[in-house]
Chains A and B, each alone.
Chain A
Amino acid sequence: MEIDGSKPSVEPAPSRLGRLLRARPRHGEVDPATIPTWEELARSHDRFLYSLAFRLSGNHQDAQDIVQEVLLRVRRGLRTYEPGNLEGWLSRITTNVFLDRVRKQNRRPTVPLPDEPDRVIAGSPDLETEMASRDLPDDLQALLLTLPPDYRVAVVLKDVLSFSYEEIAELVGVPIGTVRSRIHRGRGRLREALTS
């Protein structure tokens, strides 16, 4: 599969979560006069933050810890927040908190992820059948946790929260080709697990 950003294609339909989020001004510009207070933001985006934290961490205990830390950082950062992509900003903070926690827990050097965008993960005719027999979404959440954290972040931001590749690249701070590679590989691992 050739990964070429010059080949436009239709973005997949927004996810269920993404559609719900779009009921609010998702990814929209925020008028400086309407920048929410910390309390307003915490209340209005509680499900967004918690859902992202839960999908990344896989359990409520860690999700609560992550959201707690996110809110602290948000409160500190709101004063310097520049109106714009509010939920992108929240997502960046959340993923940073998550990855910080992973690094602390692991306490070992991280291995750079290989960028091999040309590598192809073969398709399987049995995928649909296998998925139908599984107890989703619990299985899928469990499988998400088997992904390397960087893959998991990319996949969750893309497929669960419906961020674009460009947005994810900006949020995570890596080239767009790396984002594509991580998503491709992450999905591939999920697929392999589902069909194994």
Chain B
Amino acid sequence: MTGTFDEEPWEAEIGSLLAALPMVDPPAGFIESALDHRPLHAGRILTGLVAASLAAVVAVVATGAVGRSEVAIQIDDLTRRHETAVRAGVLSAPVGEVEYRVETPVELPPGYQRTRNLAVEDLRQALYARGDDSVSVFVQAGTLSWESLPPEGIRAIEGHRAWVDPERRVTVIETAEEIVTIVGLPSDDLADVLAGLPSAEPSFWQRLDDTVDAIVGQLGYPSEG
């Protein structure tokens, strides 16, 4: 098999037309904007304490860190980031953060609309809202430092270790390569949101999808009523 084939004359004509298509330059500053996000200093201490949000928020924070560094999830800081992003609204990014274009679902069921993607250094955040409620999901490359979390919240879910704080609406799930932290999601919506997360190789999404039923079934969030 040589990888070459006889082609009809008309095929060559079409091929010539396509071959004449010009290169397309990215918008000015686009690549540099993408490069703004340097490798994450895994486990960096994020300060600040914030009371649990009354709003329902799903925040997605993703890091592009290459390595498999051990990461200490700072629940208080992620909660603060979530609330700060909510307060900032859609008009401006919180101080020190930049808008970040990542491929995240435009909508998460049941009706959460993506309002923005944020990032500071390599920490990325996608924010969703439904009415007055908002949701954030955080995803970081690396392995989770379980010692950084109170042990009473640790659970085993279908081969994945997870940490759950129902009162503060925080869920941390570790997959083979990444750590996912969901902040502020009402338990009534958890199943729908998780089911709506996309599958995208080689991220955690596919693996999460694969185990979503078991995860939802075992998280044991209390009723919102």
- A residues near B, CB below 8 A? 1-18, 20, 38-39, 42-43, 46-48, 50-51, 54-55, 60, 63-69, 71-73, 75-76, 78-79, 96-97, 100-101, 103-104, 120-121, 123-124, 127-128, 131, 136-137, 140-141, 144, 155-156, 158-160, 162, 164-167, 169, 176, 180, 184, 187-188, 190-191, 194
Contact = CB atoms under 8 A, between A and B. Distances in A.
A17 B141 CA distance: 35
Interface string B18-32: 111111111100110
Nearest to B67: A79
Given A71-B34, A131-B13, A190-B14, A15 B20 contact: yes
Contact of A127 (B10, B31, B141): B10
Nearest to B177: A76
Task: Decide if the interface of chain B is mainly helix, strand, loop or mixed.
Answer: loop
Contact of A165 (B4, B10, B200): B4
Nearest to B18: A159
A68 B6 contact: no
Given A6-B2, A78-B66, A160-B21, A46 B7 contact: no
A160 B103 contact: no
Interface of B: 1-27, 30-31, 34-35, 62, 64, 66-67, 101-103, 105, 141, 198-202
Contacts of B14: 159, 187, 190-191, 194
A17 B4 contact: no
A159 B34 CA distance: 29
A102 to B, nearest CB: 12
B103 A158 contact: no
B171 to A, nearest CB: 23
Given A68-B102, A69-B103, A187-B15, A42 B21 contact: no
Given A6-B2, A8-B2, A191-B14, A64 B27 contact: yes
A70 to B, nearest CB: 10
A96 to B, nearest CB: 7
B125 to A, nearest CB: 14
A101 B103 contact: yes
B19 A162 contact: yes
A136 B22 contact: no
A7 B10 CA distance: 19
Prevailing SS type, chain A contact patch? helix
B101 A15 contact: no
A63 to B, nearest CB: 7
Contacts of B34: 42, 67-68, 71
Contacts of A43: 31, 35
A164 B8 contact: no
Contact of A140 (B11, B17, B67): B17
Given A64-B26, A76-B64, A78-B66, A137 B3 contact: no
B15 A12 contact: yes
A37 to B, nearest CB: 10
A9 B27 contact: no
A6 B21 contact: no
A47 B22 CA distance: 11
Given A7-B5, A9-B4, A68-B103, A140 B21 contact: yes
Contacts of A5: 1-5
Nearest to B102: A68
Given A65-B101, A75-B66, A166-B1, A18 B19 contact: yes
A17 B22 contact: yes
